[in-house]
Amino acid sequence: MKKFITFIFSIIIFLLFPLNVFAQGKNITVEKGKIINQNPYLIAGDNIDISGVVNGDVIAAGGQITVSGKINGDLIVAGGNVRLTGEVTQNARLFGGQITVSGKVDKNLLIGCGNLEISENAVIAGYLVSGSGNTSIFAPIGGNVTIGSGNLSLNNKVNGNLTVASEQINLSPDVNVKGNFEYWSKNSANIDPKAKILGKTIKHDLPQNVNWDVSKMDPRKIAGGFIGLAVGFKILSLFTLLLIGFLMIKLYPNFMDQAEKYISGNVWKSILTGFLVMIIFPISFIVLLITVIGIPVAFILAAVYIIYLYLSKIFVIYWLGRKILNKNKSKYLPFAIASLIYTIFMIIPPISGIVRFITTLVGFGAILLSCKDGYSKAKTSKII
């Protein structure tokens, strides 16, 4: 947490000074044998390959990220596809769609991703905390393991406690848990008879009904818990925002640029368009439901409407990032910085609602206007 707070403040400081400390570009490579003496070393790009040595913390954001060299510090990564095959002498925090770890982490490993694989060649000296859709672990873990996953497959030693919340849990014959195995699941864990659990095995059913005894609650603890939960969700939403934003930039760069131009040159038109559609849609939805025959169309439009509402902030954040770093060639770094600023504003209650409302109106309008413009151009080109 201390490192993450330092990361946030370092980003804010960098906004106030020249940004020559950033490495940015479409393809960024730290060749094998090259030494980077920079702390922190910030990178953003489509494809990032670190094969050399970095003497300091590394913070990287991109589409494809490979770390096969040595990081003499912490590693913080957000990307679509992340591979760690080298060594991190401190902590590693990896966030992305697909994450593969086959290298060495000398301290602790924190993961947030869609699919995680820790291969048998990996070395994790400290604890492992992971939240992922599918998790496969083939390497020994030096400390406690805490996992939230849809499916977990564990195939090696855990030199501490194993705590899991998962729908499916499979422990292979090679599993050796030195501490307790405690898990939450609607299904019983599939534990091979040859697997060893030296501590207690405790199963918890997923809660169905919760009874609250208000008289025994400490208001200060409740408030602290909600604040911690809120900050935790905001941190998670930041990395989700980065992942979706990077994918949008990668897959639809022209559309992102077109929407940015509409926000820059037609901000009031974007606000008005977004506002009108947000008023018209509920009415149209109800009318379609009443007609009965239009029910399928109503729900299709509702799905599209919800997706557009979520994506609206992506375009505004992209526009903000380009405004802040208007001379920066990379599209990923400006988006990452603007995403951080947006997330910080979302933590402040009096401001968050206003920022969210304005962002939604502007972004929603810009998306619709860009789609309309694209359709008009396509129609014109067909006529010609």
Q: Label residue 240 by pLDDT band (50, 70, 90).
A: confident
- Note the pLDDT of residue 358: 83
Least confident piece of the model among 62-71, 133-142, 219-228, 246-255 = 219-228
Domain coordinates of the chain in residue numbers? 2-204, 219-383
- Note the pLDDT of residue 373: 65
User: Can you name the residues that pair with 129 across neighbouring β-strands?
Assistant: 110, 146
User: Could you tell me which residue, 128 or 269, shows the higher pLDDT?
Assistant: 128
Nearest to 112 by CA among 226, 238, 245: 238
Could you give the angle at which helices 253-265 and 295-324 cross, rounded to 10 degrees? 80
**pLDDT tens-place string over residues 26-74:** 678 888 989 989 877 877 777 889 999 999 888 877 778 899 999 999 9
Copy the structure tokens of residue 90. 């401190």
User: Could you tell me which residue, 292 or 336, shows the higher pLDDT?
Assistant: 336
**Alpha-carbon gap, residue 157 to 106, rounded angstroms:** 17
Least confident piece of the model among 262-271, 292-301, 338-347 = 292-301
**pLDDT tens-place string over residues 335-366:** 888 888 887 777 666 677 787 888 888 887 77
pLDDT exceeds 60 at position 82: yes
- Note the pLDDT of residue 54: 92
Nearest to 284 by CA among 263, 269, 302: 302
pLDDT exceeds 70 at position 103: yes
- Note the pLDDT of residue 186: 84
Q: Label residue 19 by pLDDT band (50, 70, 90).
A: very low
CA distances to 163, 216, 226, 227, 342 from 219, in Å: 28, 10, 11, 12, 30
**Helix and strand numbers, DSSP H then E, in the chain:** 7, 21
pLDDT exceeds 50 at position 226: no
pLDDT exceeds 70 at position 279: yes
Percentage of the residues of the chain whose pLDDT score is greater than 90: 22
Mean pLDDT of all residues in 211-218 = 49
Q: Label residue 124 by pLDDT band (50, 70, 90).
A: very high
Nearest to 190 by CA among 198, 199, 178, 181: 181
**Alpha-carbon gap, residue 336 to 14, rounded angstroms:** 13
Q: Label residue 11 by pLDDT band (50, 70, 90).
A: very low
